Each structure stands twice: as C-alpha cells, then as structure tokens.
Chains A and B, each alone.
Chain A
C-alpha cells in the first residue's frame, strides 16, 4: 500500500480501506439528509404565519388558522394541557322555558320520570327505585297527617309505575296457559267466573310455572274487558316493576316464544302497555266524592250505586282542564244517597286507536290555549263551556276490593297516557291529599291494603329489597363511632339488619335447600286460626313454611326485626321476663386487633418514609389492602354470630316482625311478621312474647293470624 497516494488526497488516513471509508461517509450522508429535512424548530406554528394573518382568537379557536396549519396548531395546543371547561351559562339562561324542556329530557333519559314528576319534585323528597324516580315522602306533611288523609279524607297516590301487560286471544287459549302460574288454593285465579265478564278486578299471586313450593313472583291484579265474545278477549295484567322482568319471562315461556313485544301463536297476542296508561290510586272515605268532581252531572247521580268493592266502571269525562276549580276545595261534596242504576263496565279505553287519538289532543289543544280561553270568561274560575276541539276522555274507575279484614273505601282511576298532570291537578284541587311511597307502606302496615304495591317476603324481588335495606342499615350502623354503637352481641339480637328466615327454619328442623314460602292456602289458614288440634295433620307441618301474623301489644310497640318468642308453660301473664346480657367474646379480640392494626400502619408508614428518602423504589408499602382487610374483620367481629334460635335465648324464637310500629289506626303497638308453621299449635291462649332488637325486655302480646 503506497502511503503517498493516500496522503495526496489529504484527509484519508492511511490504514483505512476505501470501502470502509465510503460506507461510513454514506451513512453520514443519510443521517445528515434526515436532519436537514426535519429541522427541529422551537417556533410555534402561529409564529410562522405572516403578521397580517395572525388573529387574536387563534389562541383558543384553532379554526382561525389556515387549513394547512390547523392540525399542527391543534396538536401544539393540546400539549399545553387540557382545555378549560366551557363556562356554565348563567341561571337565567338555563331556566328559559325553551331550554328547560331539553334539560328535563336529558335528566329523564337515565331514570324514568312519571308524568307528574315535576309536581312531585317540588313538594316531595324523591328516590330512585326500580328504574323510576318516585316520590317518597312529603316535604311539608308529616306521617300523622298522611295517616289522617287515609282515615278521614282522601289520599292520592300516582302509581303509574305499575306495568300493564295486555293479552288478547280466545278465552280457552289464554286461561289454560295462565293456570300453571297461579295456585287455586290461594284464592280465585284468572279464570274465576266473577272476574270473567269484566265487571270486577281480581288479584292473584303468581308463581313460577308449576313450582308452588318455591317462593312466588308477586301479587298482580288483572282486568278482563267487558262486553266481548269468548273467542276474542282482552286481559290486562298489572304488575309491579320489581318483578316485571321475571313475570315476562314466565309469560314468554308459557306462550312458547322468545320475542318480547308481539307473540303470534294460536292467535294469542301479548302487548306491553308499559308507558301507555296512567293509574292513580285514591283511598279514604271521601275518595268517591273527589272522583265525582271530575264526572258530568248525570253520571254523578248514578255514581253512588257503582261503589261496590272491586267494581269496574267505565265513564267518559270532559277534559279536566276545562273544569279545574279556581282554588283548592277543602270540604267535600255531598253525594246523593240512593240510586239503582249501575254504570256500565264498558269503556273505550281498551282500544289502542282511541288512546292514541286522545293522546294527540293533548298536543293539538295545548294548555296555554285553554288558559287563554279561561281568562276570557266572564265569571272567573267557572267552567269552560264545551269547546270544539274537545274529545271526551274514557276513564276506568276500579273500586277498591276487600283485601283484609279492614276495608278502606277508595278507587283507582285508569286513563290514557299524556293526561296525568291534567287529572292530577283536577283531583288535588278537588280535595285529594298527595302521598308517596312511604304513605303506601304505612297504608299497608296499618290496614293491610295496597298489597299489590308491596313486595312479598319470599319472592325474589322481596329478597333483593331486603338485601338492599340490610346494606343501608349496616352502613348507618358502622358509620357511628364504636362507643355509640349498640352492641348487638351483648344484647342478644341475632338479626339486627335483616332477617335470615332460612336460619330460623333450619333451627326448627326443616330442610331449606329449595327455599321457603309463606302459607297462602286459605283453607289451611282457616283451620290453623281455629286452633283445632284434631284437624291438623303432620303433613301440613312438613314443608318449610311461614305464617303471616299480627301481634298487638298493650304497652309499648314492636320495632322492625323484633323477635317473637314462645312463653314457657309456667310463665304468668304480664310477668316481667328479661334476657340476661350475653358475653361478648369479641370485645377482647377487637381491642387486640385494633392495637395490632395501628402498629402495623405505623410500621408501613415508616417503611414508606425510608423508601422515599433512600430513593429505592423496589417495594411499594401501600396500606390500602391492610386497611380493607382490617375493616372487614372488625365488621365481622361487631356482628352477632349465627346461633341456634331455639336454644340460645331464654325463650325460643318462633318468628320475627318485619314491620313494627305504633299503629295509628288501632292506637296500640302493632307488628306484622311471620312465624314458623310448626310453632302454631304450641301457642296457648294467643299469647306470645316480643323482644325488640337491642333490648332485653320481653313484652307480652296477643297474636292473630292475618
């Protein structure tokens, strides 16, 4: 290799081959080209624009930039963090009537609103239940006022959340399919003759197909259409939204199809009228007089005769917006005392086309037009004469039927969708007192009516509701500091938050793999209440069943989850019996656990500090998992352990009270609950002991099967 030649070229070192030289240079060239093509600029995009094209708004509005630079500008803007939230418009703008409607539509998309929601939302505390926003209790009226409304005036509840299912078809095809769903021993079912011609409303407990030993699905009410031939009949079934899905599944399996809305088989058609009908419930002595304010004068005269319990009357009324009284009526109209003619049960409400036509009128003849015409009346506040756009609206008035030994007169009004606010205002102004879910519960507690609005304790819906209530009560309990919590272990309360019926039945010797039921067989209930030992056989006691009872105390009142216990043979009536305070083995454990936990947290905190300062991110000493485990353990130590209900306490437990309070209708403490069927013969003289949760005193009470 001659060095001279290389040295002539100059910068090529002598010991490098040409090829290597060339490759290196080639790589360099490529790298340099890349760097030249993509210069790393630190200038912002808008600085590249000439001055006359820059705009002030482009700092927040990228659409002010020329299109080619827009993307780059947007990405640069995004780099400086998330944009500010758009300013919330001012209150006056938000509340403009045109904008209010879209706001309400947005809110009601997630949770269904009743048509009377706005009226209730201004006056009631609302809750979300079963996919609806429902009024719970009044903001202004108390518990006693609402009880007085039911007892002396008229309570008005909007129950449009009940779901209606319509079945159309030949009578002989509908009834046999529905027969496996209901137990004939509990009472008249769908095919009973008293309901078939459509003049009365019936109620029936439905079960899962052919399995009456498992719990029911719930209580439903039904109506046949009046005035039809047996080959084409219509049946309306009203069921509670809590078990609506389950009921639909059962119906679909009965009629053998998978589709939801229309089932065409053997000419049977099922339609879901979920949002198409509204229903109000009026209960109280003056319910009929409140309703009669809606009716025309001629019908009012004959209304009195159609007030037999359970009767269905179909009437046509005028648009209630025309006859709205100017101020609320406090006294009630007196009704004519005697009448013979009965209003027919036929109604145009059953036609879907009529309902749609009437729903149209609501939008074609709006409120402000009506109000305008009313303001032009000569005598303010009087009725508007018949208007040309009016159509008579068909109503169905369903009287309250006998549900229990107490009868509270009242009726239900059913009318097409879209008219709820009009009818609601008319009824309120005629003297009805509005009520919410709490008032329905209290009606069920005091008088045992409205049971189709309450869930059965052995149904799936009832168990879910009980589980939710348990969670809520436990949260409330554990939110209190440990010192103020009642110690249910020491006070010997087995179930302070919810009742475990399975445990009770197991302790009384039953097997509960298939679940338990409440005894609904009317004949058996009668024989049990007669308390005749000869008539009862061992067979009746072999199934795990509960019996519904009412207990009445002379002094004091039971609470929810109170224990019903059997007195011993030699216990004298009204002698004081006390439950001794039980030992709480958990107390020591809790103390030790607390100390351990706090020291553990301290060590973890120390370790975290060390790792932070030593800059060693090997382990993460997070104490979240430790805290969660400790919380669970402590909670389980506070709850009373599961024990044998017959033997652990001074007197054996036979049942529990599900709802207990001072009963305003009777003036003494009442409890509605359930007891084990096997204990019924052991009750002597209808006397039992009741012990409230968290107390040690056994109160003497009278028991009656209800």
Chain B
C-alpha cells in the first residue's frame, strides 16, 4: 500500500509580447504540457524528462486569469521546479512563468488561489478612480460573499 505523493505547482503565465498584439492568449493544457517537458529535457536531459513524465498533468488552466496548476510526483518535482523559470514559450506565444505556490493537495492550491484572487480584488478596488466603477466593484464583491 504505497501512497502516491504529488506536488501541485500553481504558476501564473505572463505573456511577454503584449502591448502590440491583442490576440487572446490561447492556453491549452496540451501546449503547456509539451512545453514543460521540452524545457525539462533541455535543462536536465532525457533523464529529467523521463523522471517527470509519469504523473505529469495540467490539472487546472484558466485563460482569463492566466493561472495554471501543474501536477508532478513528489521526488522529481524538484527537477520540474528548477526548470520552470526557463520556460519561455507555450505554443507560439512567448511567455514567462511565475510560480506562486506549491501545494501537496489540489484543495490547498485552491485555497491559496481563492485568497490570491480576493487580495487582487481589493487592490482593484483601491485602484479604480471613478465612483461608479467603485460601486460596481462593491456590487460584484458582495455577490461573491453569497456565492453567485
């Protein structure tokens, strides 16, 4: 009865070539997977890629908030973690991964993400200038308290 332990990396995907192109960032789990494997092979060689491949999965990928959660087995996860900063492109787009949190269970990652989003909403509130915008954001925030 061996227990399979995993590590879930929550990372934010920052597109590098924006400002000029207004294309929507087409985040596909398959693309992220391929690029992660390629980068790990680049950094740690065939051994690294093979060590990670079993149990590698993109569990959560959100286009609009640009957040992805990548799963890996506990053990080889350090190889993956060390190669994530070197990831430069997903599919055709140039990106930069910024890992925020590493959790041992998916629920912990969700809890972190929830806190993260709430902080971001508070910052947005501080940032808006017009009254009506403020009112609108208050409205939206109150909705989340009661779960839409």
A and B are partners in one complex rather than unrelated chains:
yes
* B107: A residues at CB distance < 8 A: 35-36, 39
* B110: A residues at CB distance < 8 A: 32, 35-36
Which of B14, B66, B111, B121 meets A22, CB within 8 Å?
A: B121
Contacts known (A9-B127, A14-B19, A18-B128); A26 close to B114, Cβ less than 8 A = no
**Distance to closest chain A CB from B93 (angstroms):** 13
**Distance to closest chain B CB from A18 (angstroms):** 5
**Which residue of chain A has the shortest Cβ distance to B142 in the bound complex?**
A26
Whether A33 pairs with B124 at a CB distance below 8 angstroms is: no
Whether A32 pairs with B143 at a CB distance below 8 angstroms is: no
Instruction: Please tell me if B104 contacts chain A, counting CB pairs below 8 Å.
Output: no
A28 to B133, CA, bound (A): 20
Chain B binding site: helix, strand, loop or mixed by DSSP? helix
Whether B144 pairs with A30 at a CB distance below 8 angstroms is: yes
* B123: A residues at CB distance < 8 A: 9
A21 to B125, CA, bound (A): 11
Whether B137 pairs with A22 at a CB distance below 8 angstroms is: yes
Contacts known (A11-B12, A23-B140, A34-B147); A28 close to B62, Cβ less than 8 A = yes
Which of A19, A24, A25 meets B136, CB within 8 Å?
A: A19
Give the residues from 12 to 51 in chain A that come closer than 8 angstroms, CB to CB, to chain B. Answer: 12-15, 18-19, 21-30, 32-36, 39
Whether B22 pairs with A28 at a CB distance below 8 angstroms is: no
* B118: A residues at CB distance < 8 A: 29
Whether B114 pairs with A36 at a CB distance below 8 angstroms is: yes
Whether A32 pairs with B14 at a CB distance below 8 angstroms is: no
Count chain B residues whose beta carbon lies closer than 8 angstroms to a beta carbon of A.
33
Contacts known (A34-B147, A35-B110); A18 close to B120, Cβ less than 8 A = no
Give the residues from 65 to 86 in chain B that come closer than 8 angstroms, CB to CB, to chain A. Answer: 65-66
Instruction: Please tell me if B18 contacts chain A, counting CB pairs below 8 Å.
Output: yes
* B62: A residues at CB distance < 8 A: 28
Contacts known (A9-B127, A28-B65, A32-B110); A18 close to B19, Cβ less than 8 A = no
A27 to B62, CA, bound (A): 12
Whether B121 pairs with A25 at a CB distance below 8 angstroms is: yes
Instruction: Please tell me if B5 contacts chain A, counting CB pairs below 8 Å.
Output: no
* B148: A residues at CB distance < 8 A: 26-27, 30
**Distance to closest chain A CB from B4 (angstroms):** 12
Contact digits for B108-139, partner A, Cβ 8 Å, 1 yes 0 no: 00110110011011011101100001001100
* A14: B residues at CB distance < 8 A: 18-19
Count chain A residues whose beta carbon lies closer than 8 angstroms to a beta carbon of B.
25
Instruction: Please tell me if B64 contacts chain A, counting CB pairs below 8 Å.
Output: yes
Whether A32 pairs with B117 at a CB distance below 8 angstroms is: yes
A70 to B37, CA, bound (A): 46
Give the residues from 35 to 79 in chain A that come closer than 8 angstroms, CB to CB, to chain B. Answer: 35-36, 39
Whether B19 pairs with A11 at a CB distance below 8 angstroms is: no
**Which residue of chain B has the shortest Cβ distance to A3 in the bound complex?**
B19
* B140: A residues at CB distance < 8 A: 19, 22-23, 26
* B12: A residues at CB distance < 8 A: 11
Instruction: Please tell me if B51 contacts chain A, counting CB pairs below 8 Å.
Output: no
* A19: B residues at CB distance < 8 A: 133, 136-137, 140
Contacts known (A18-B137, A19-B136, A36-B107); A26 close to B144, Cβ less than 8 A = yes
**Distance to closest chain B CB from A108 (angstroms):** 57
Instruction: Please tell me if B95 contacts chain A, counting CB pairs below 8 Å.
Output: no
A34 to B110, CA, bound (A): 10
Instruction: Please tell me if A5 contacts chain B, counting CB pairs below 8 Å.
Output: yes
* B114: A residues at CB distance < 8 A: 29, 32-33, 36
Please report A residues at the B interface, Cβ cutoff 8 Å.
5, 9, 11-15, 18-19, 21-30, 32-36, 39
A22-B137, A26-B143, A30-B147 given; 9 more Cβ-contact pairs under 8 Å = A9-B123, A19-B137, A25-B65, A25-B117, A30-B148, A32-B110, A33-B147, A35-B107, A39-B107
20 contacts between A and B (CB under 8 A): A9-B123, A9-B127, A11-B66, A12-B124, A13-B18, A18-B137, A19-B137, A19-B140, A22-B141, A24-B65, A25-B65, A25-B120, A25-B124, A26-B140, A26-B148, A29-B114, A32-B111, A33-B147, A34-B147, A35-B110
A-B pairs, 5 with minimum CB distance: A32-B114, A18-B128, A26-B140, A25-B117, A24-B64
Please report B residues at the A interface, Cβ cutoff 8 Å.
12, 14-15, 18-19, 22, 62, 64-66, 107, 110-111, 113-114, 117-118, 120-121, 123-125, 127-128, 133, 136-137, 140-141, 143-144, 147-148
